[in-house]
Structure 1
């Protein structure tokens, strides 16, 4: 089975996914008027605006933290180590390229999720790829297919990846039995997810910034401590990306193909742009200013933080320790722990273990919220389906703590690709709507007025929208 899964992963990622991700990213950079680059200097202002509460949904900042909770997980630690093992330092360069194109893709999918959102029975906004496939494309069957892929991936498979990393990290640092880790982690997650989307979002807006700051601060201090080695590490990233490195002093020689594939795989698993997961959180927000593009810009910040800051910090730790140049029997997260031990002593393994517990915990909670959101689309948002999903989430967390590492990542790669292919197909078909959203936002910004989305300007589009979503924009 592992050989078959590896074959499937190699086929999908060796051709289809890289071209699709790169092509879609470049397409949306152009179609949106280069928004990811034009608004880079306005990210601070967008974050400030995201704190403004509005009726009917989460604040944009809460939606950002919820999406970051799901984004920032073991992929930022174990996944980066795996990328360096499989593709060498050059994988980090291609991960950055994946992040740049991913920002445009994230803008597109999150703006569409905002546009086509609707209220649930409690008045909370809901939406995501399944909704824009249904209402925007008129293809409910496609939305159902996507929801099933998401339930399989975020309700089941991805949680095993997170639990596996936690179990390995705690076993390495503190000799905690894997089964005990799985049971305790499942119990903690169970107590959290019953709080519902609003309760979880309020918790995440405090927890996520704290855990991110801890990891970034630790990484910056270590990098400053080993600053003389930084130029060589950065040079290796660029040289290896284009196959210019030499195999010497025990260092492995990597091909451009290895670096490219590993970088895009881990970049997508880390920042999730294009997978269609983040739009589930983006749709829950009541954006300020009241325009779909505003939430798209805020969610671009999430891709930037995840890829260019958190994942890069992890990569530099492994590279500064030098362990990616040598063969090791250690699995993904344990390689990060070994690197940290080499850099700061035995306390390093414990620090990584604590960070990965926080990362994985918030990620699994975010994953569950995405899965529950798609139960609503499938019209299964009743007591028994919800509790069945909760039980399945807990069981997969326990199972993930015991499963072998390669099988878990191979499954994740395949399911991730199936989700992404479905979602990217939908947003490419809806690219005229993405262009309309971006143009409308940029037009109002150019006029110096606060952007407000008025669907009456676009009668054809208005017929696809829920009437109580955008007809009466909130006042501030």
Structure 2
């Protein structure tokens, strides 16, 4: 196992080397300029995301699609992931996490737009979409769609299931001394109750859970920043300087320099906001929307909230606490920072992590489910859900340092075909954006054809989109 673990770590380092970092961050920057800084519409997008609009075909509302995507993205990446980035890449990694979010807004917008444009409808009336359908119908590359779906169905068990369950069971044990197996049973049972109800049940739970959990955790961060207000300014300056420093700052983390800060900042940023990963567009494709651009704008706000707000606050809180200099890493680092709030600090963190983890497990169960449906058809959905619940329990009771590296690897493998599709289909993204956003037709209805597929993915019919059935 030690040999296997070392091999996995080497593969992880190779995949997340300069080429993938350049492809990921380069795509963010390329799409930002190609779309004339789409980030400037973020407040318009936020307004749209909370405006009710029942027109159009889809399985869930635009807001439900957003909260489900946020449920999957706001998780251990915001707490443990940021702390890990600081521990391994230094305080400068926080800036790269943040920049990945800022520029990643353009990528999240683009991949969601394509997923709605190329989504299909199953014969029972449900929507199916995501990069696998974009690759198949947009780029006419079925094999690439299969690869993406395969990587997603495997990665989901790491990033969205076992890692999440392990993080919360460990934190609950450290805080309340409750055995991990008890936490595992409780989480697995709660997950089973929700996911067996499908996307509508998942969305219903996320509509309530996501706003509560985000506000609860952010309030804790704000309290810590207010308590340490005297050094917050100098901490932010230090983070920026360290992000471009050729030498690592003094502290208890491995590696040094700009490359380590970029490597862990960008990879953990992707782990958290998933821009470019191709996961969130899977649920965006299920949204009830007038046109691809409107839902794309709503989806883009997910990266803003996840990384530009929550991850940034976590990073500043941790660096400002100073515990990173003492060799404390991972969840323990975030816990040490929150311990500055007497008595309730660890409780805020534990409740925040518990709700983050639970929501992430729900969101990713849907991503994995749709990927396995693409590969094997609807007959595989129920077995996949059962297997998912089992792995939630397994993740809760076993040590999973190895799974973090495996999750990184499959995240990277998911991102590659998705990013290539975004670059090659960028003319389509620009054309749709001009048609609906730049020409001020955001309320216009998309009348293009939508394909209807059978259980094996074969097209059996076509009709115009947004016809009220």
TM-score, normalised to structure 2, is 0.92
**C-alpha separation between the residues in 2 aligned to 1:235 and 1:294?**
37
**C-alpha separation between the residues in 2 aligned to 1:112 and 1:451?**
17
Aligned match of 1:160: 162
Counterparts in 2 of 1:153 and 1:473: CA distance versus 1, 3 Å: same
Deviation at 1:165, TM superposition (A): 0.6
Q: Is the 8 A contact 1:115 1:465 kept in 2?
A: no
What does the per-residue CA deviation read over 1:220-255, in whole Å, with 9 as the maximum and x for residues that have no partner?
122112211211210111011011778559899841
Counterparts in 2 of 1:252 and 1:419: CA distance versus 1, 3 Å: closer
**C-alpha separation between the residues in 2 aligned to 1:277 and 1:69?**
12
**C-alpha separation between the residues in 2 aligned to 1:109 and 1:134?**
14
Aligned match of 1:337: 335
Question: Unaligned 5+ residue runs, structure 2?
Answer: 450-458
* Matching of residues 254-273 of structure 1 within 5 Å: 254-273=256-275
Deviation at 1:34, TM superposition (A): 2.2
Deviation at 1:33, TM superposition (A): 2.7
Aligned match of 1:279: 281
Residue number among 394, 398, 401 corresponding to 1:406 in the alignment: 401
Deviation at 1:407, TM superposition (A): 1.0
| SS of equivalent residue, structure 1 residue 388 | helix
Question: Unaligned 5+ residue runs, structure 1?
Answer: 457-463
Q: Which runs of 4+ in 1 moved over 6 A?
A: 249-253
**C-alpha separation between the residues in 2 aligned to 1:234 and 1:186?**
40
Counterparts in 2 of 1:433 and 1:347: CA distance versus 1, 3 Å: same
| SS of equivalent residue, structure 1 residue 468 | strand
Aligned match of 2:454: none
Counterparts in 2 of 1:466 and 1:88: CA distance versus 1, 3 Å: farther
Q: Is the 8 A contact 2:85 2:268 kept in 1?
A: yes
| SS of equivalent residue, structure 2 residue 463 | helix
**C-alpha separation between the residues in 1 aligned to 2:288 and 2:251?**
55
Counterparts in 2 of 1:13 and 1:314: CA distance versus 1, 3 Å: same
What does the per-residue CA deviation read over 1:358-377, in whole Å, with 9 as the maximum and x for residues that have no partner?
10001011111111122332
Instruction: Say yes or no: does 1:452 pair with 2:441.
Output: no
Deviation at 1:157, TM superposition (A): 5.2
Aligned match of 1:459: none
Counterparts in 2 of 1:18 and 1:40: CA distance versus 1, 3 Å: same
**C-alpha separation between the residues in 1 aligned to 2:118 and 2:251?**
56
Aligned match of 1:378: 375
Instruction: Say yes or no: does 1:122 pair with 2:124.
Output: yes
Counterparts in 2 of 1:337 and 1:466: CA distance versus 1, 3 Å: farther
Aligned length: 456
Instruction: Say yes or no: does 1:29 pair with 2:32.
Output: yes
Counterparts in 2 of 1:325 and 1:451: CA distance versus 1, 3 Å: farther
Superposed CA RMSD in Å reads 2.3
Deviation at 1:439, TM superposition (A): 1.7
**C-alpha separation between the residues in 2 aligned to 1:157 and 1:69?**
13
Counterparts in 2 of 1:469 and 1:2: CA distance versus 1, 3 Å: farther
**C-alpha separation between the residues in 1 aligned to 2:396 and 2:210?**
23
What does the per-residue CA deviation read over 1:143-169, in whole Å, with 9 as the maximum and x for residues that have no partner?
111111111011455311101111111
What does the per-residue CA deviation read over 1:170-200, in whole Å, with 9 as the maximum and x for residues that have no partner?
0110111122222221111111101111121
**C-alpha separation between the residues in 2 aligned to 1:398 and 1:110?**
32
Deviation at 1:467, TM superposition (A): 3.6
Instruction: Say yes or no: does 1:307 pair with 2:304.
Output: no
Instruction: Say yes or no: does 1:442 pair with 2:437.
Output: yes
TM-score, normalised to structure 1, is 0.90
| SS of equivalent residue, structure 2 residue 308 | helix
Aligned match of 2:7: 4
| SS of equivalent residue, structure 1 residue 119 | strand
Aligned match of 2:456: none
**C-alpha separation between the residues in 1 aligned to 2:117 and 2:33?**
20
**C-alpha separation between the residues in 2 aligned to 1:146 and 1:270?**
19
